[in-house]
């Protein structure tokens, strides 16, 4: 087996392991959240949920890597399947803080987060690292005036040597002096590679340093334009940062919301079209999470959001539909954006019905959407607010002329909804029973037309 094949198979196995780990954490997280709904005051339950969410974010970031061979430019002896040895240099995918020749700009930096699951060896390592740089160094360190990629590299190297508590304290000290300094230089810089390094860094620490994303709300003036000035693989890191800001900070102030204008939306959707040409769907996943995060910030008192109008006026827009459905099917949205995705689907069908225009989704995809909705209505626990939203969306979809013409799987839909009308069940979850009855009445009316 030659070196390239060996490395490829190695990376494939690591990816499968990471994906399995991610899925197992997600399953555990869902159960803990269900338990939390029953007893929100249970001791340490919220901390456990936060810990699992941090782990999930970390693994999702790791899955954006292409290469887990962590060797940087050094020769390595690799035994081939024939017993020979290859001395070819093997390099890892670049870390986020390196030169401008990054292969995809998606590798992530993170400070190792301690929680209740850390083992003794990791704790000992952290204790040893804390001896390398302690609190006595902080006063000198915050005086660093980062103005180049080299300065950022130095800063990251020092952070990696620190104990987690010391590093977090440093980044929060003096009202986030280090981070504010970086943002100031990024705003003044014309070097897109330098700005990208800052973005990679902010993505890495954002979920570990409380208050960072809120701090970055006022930095959209340089984050947004630079997102569309770099090539699309590097732009993905900007999208990740924007999605975090839009979802983790509450409603944006009017001054910042104004930056999410038509130009922003056009350029964002244009990135989505570029990602359509990529074999790996991770790029489209990042795009959709950012698009939905954007949509979560747009409040429309009457009518439809700019995104809905855009999807119905761009000729190529339906090409984006299948992957949105695939994400909905796998429930792989970040930041709890599944609810936002359902709202988007609902608005898409409502607009089509109201304006009597062809649906944004391809006709062949609509049955898939119905299957997803019905499956989740059946599988979700009673009193789960998501089930109610799935039911509301199903009503909208079944009101569309496409279903009226096809009556797709109508018997299965009736069976699932009829189960929701069981007397004992309806007593526990009257809202589900009420909406289910409305949908069944709708289906009956359509059968007479």
Q: Pick from 191, 223, 255: which residue ends a domain?
A: 223
Cβ pair 113, 164 in contact under 8 A: yes
28 and 120 together in one domain = no
pLDDT tens digit string along 331-387? 767 767 888 999 999 999 999 999 999 999 999 999 999 999 999 999 988 888 899
Nearest to 162 by CA among 137, 202, 118, 130: 130
Three-state DSSP at 359 gives coil
pLDDT at residue 132, rounded to an integer: 44
State residue 117's pLDDT score. 46
DSSP 85: E
Helices and strands, number each (H, E), in the chain: 22, 2
- pLDDT, tens digit (0-9, with 9 covering 90-100), for 103-138: 344 444 443 344 444 444 444 444 444 444 444 444
Question: Does residue 55 lie in a domain region?
Answer: yes
Q: Is 415 a domain residue?
A: no
Instruction: Please tell me the predicted confidence (pLDDT) of residue 68.
Output: 59
- Nearest-10 crossing angle of helices 338-355, 282-297: 70
**pLDDT(444) > 60:** yes
Q: Which of 91-105, 151-165, 411-425 has the highest mean pLDDT?
A: 411-425
Distance set, CA 231 to CA 41, 103, 149, 274, 413 (Å): 47, 11, 18, 10, 45
Residue 448 lies inside a defined structural domain of this protein: no
Q: Which residues contact 186 (CB under 8 A, 6 or more apart)?
A: 194, 195, 198, 219, 222, 226
Give residue 303's pLDDT band: very low, low, confident or very high (50, 70, 90).
confident
Band of the pLDDT at 67, cuts 50, 70, 90? low
66: pLDDT confidence band, cut at 50, 70 and 90? low
* Distance in angstroms (rounded) separating the CA atoms of residues 147 and 48: 39
pLDDT of residue 440: 95
Higher pLDDT, 145 or 42: 42
Query: pLDDT-derived band of residue 14, with 50, 70 and 90 as boundaries?
Result: confident
Contact partners, residue 295, CB within 8 Å, separation at least 6:
305, 307, 340, 343, 344
Domain of residue 125 covers: 94-223
Domain membership of residue 356 (yes or no) is: no
Range with lowest mean pLDDT among 26-40, 254-268, 368-382, 428-442: 26-40
CA 320 from centre of chain:
17
Average of per-residue pLDDT across 16-40: 81
Average of pLDDT values for 283-302? 90
Phi, psi of 197 (to 5 degrees): -60, -40
Residue 39 has pLDDT above 70, yes or no: yes
Q: Looking at the structure, do residues 73 and 122 belong to the same domain, yes or no?
A: no
Q: How far apart are CA 447 and CA 411, in angstroms?
A: 12
Interval 209-232 mean pLDDT: 94
The reply to whether 104 and 175 lie within a common domain is: yes
150 vs 307, more confident? 307
- Domain boundary residue among 202, 223, 244? 223
Burial class (CB in 10 A: 0-12, 13-18, 19+), 344: buried
Whether 75 and 176 map to the same domain: the answer is: no
DSSP element (H, E) containing 138: helix 138-141
pLDDT of residue 30: 80
Averaged over 71-86, what is the pLDDT?
42
pLDDT: is 10 or 234 the higher one? 234
Which residue, 195, 223, 251, sits at the end of a domain? 223
User: Are 114 and 51 found together in one domain?
Assistant: no
Looking at the predicted structure, is the pLDDT value of residue 59 above 80?
no
Q: What is the pLDDT of residue 356?
A: 92
Q: Count how many domains the chain has.
A: 2
Are residues 123 and 217 located together in one domain of the fold?
A: yes
Higher pLDDT, 35 or 75: 35
Instruction: Report whether 393 contacts 342 (CB < 8 A).
Output: yes
Identify the pLDDT of residue 64. Answer: 66
Tokens 């079209």, located at residue: 273
For residues 264 and 37, the model is more confident at 264
- What is the predicted pLDDT for the residue at 80? 43
One domain for residues 106 and 184:
yes
């Amino acid at each position: 087996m030659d070196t390239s094949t060996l490395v490829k198979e190695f990376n494939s196995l690591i990816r499968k392991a990471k994906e399995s780990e991610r899925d197992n954490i997600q399953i555990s997280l869902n159960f803990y959240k269900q338990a939390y709904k029953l007893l929100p005051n249970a001791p340490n339950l919220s901390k456990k949920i936060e810990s699992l969410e941090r782990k999930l974010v970390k693994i999702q970031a790791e899955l954006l890597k292409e290469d887990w061979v962590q060797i940087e430019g050094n020769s390595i002896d690799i035994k081939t399947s024939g017993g020979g040895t290859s001395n070819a240099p093997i390099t890892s995918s670049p870390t986020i803080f390196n030169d401008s020749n990054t292969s995809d700009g998606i590798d992530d930096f993170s400070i190792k987060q301690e929680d209740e699951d850390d083992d003794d060896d990791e704790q000992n390592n952290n204790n040893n690292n804390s001896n390398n740089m302690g609190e006595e160094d902080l006063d000198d360190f915050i005086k660093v005036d980062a103005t180049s990629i080299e300065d950022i590299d130095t800063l990251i190297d020092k952070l990696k040597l620190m104990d987690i508590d010391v590093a977090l304290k440093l980044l929060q000290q003096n009202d986030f002096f280090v981070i504010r300094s970086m943002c100031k230089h990024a705003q003044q810089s014309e070097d897109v590679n330098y700005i990208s390094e800052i973005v990679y860094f902010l993505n890495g620490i954002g979920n570990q340093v409380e208050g960072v994303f809120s701090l970055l709300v006022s930095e959209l003036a340089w984050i947004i334009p630079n997102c569309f000035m770099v090539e699309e693989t590097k732009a993905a890191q900007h999208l990740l940062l924007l999605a975090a800001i839009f979802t983790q900070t509450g409603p944006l102030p009017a001054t910042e919301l104004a930056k999410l204008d038509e130009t922003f939306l056009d350029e964002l959707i244009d990135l989505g079209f570029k990602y359509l040409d990529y074999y790996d769907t991770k790029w489209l996943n990042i795009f959709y999470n950012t698009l939905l995060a954007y949509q979560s910030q747009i409040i429309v008192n009457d009518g439809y959001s700019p995104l809905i109008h855009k999807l119905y006026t761009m000729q190529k827009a339906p090409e984006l539909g299948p992957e949105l459905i695939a994400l909905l099917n796998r429930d792989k949205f970040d930041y709890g954006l599944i609810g936002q995705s359902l709202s988007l689907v609902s608005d898409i069908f409502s607009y089509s019905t109201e304006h009597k225009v062809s649906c944004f989704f391809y006709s062949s995809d609509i049955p898939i959407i119905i299957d997803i909705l019905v499956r989740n209505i059946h599988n979700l626990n009673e009193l789960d607010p998501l089930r109610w939203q799935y039911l509301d969306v199903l009503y909208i979809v079944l009101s569309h002329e496409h279903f009226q013409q096809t009556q797709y799987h109508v018997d299965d839909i009736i069976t699932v909804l009829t189960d929701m009308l069981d007397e004992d069940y309806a007593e526990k979850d009257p809202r589900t029973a009420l909406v289910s009855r409305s949908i069944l009445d709708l289906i009956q009316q359509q059968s007479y037309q």
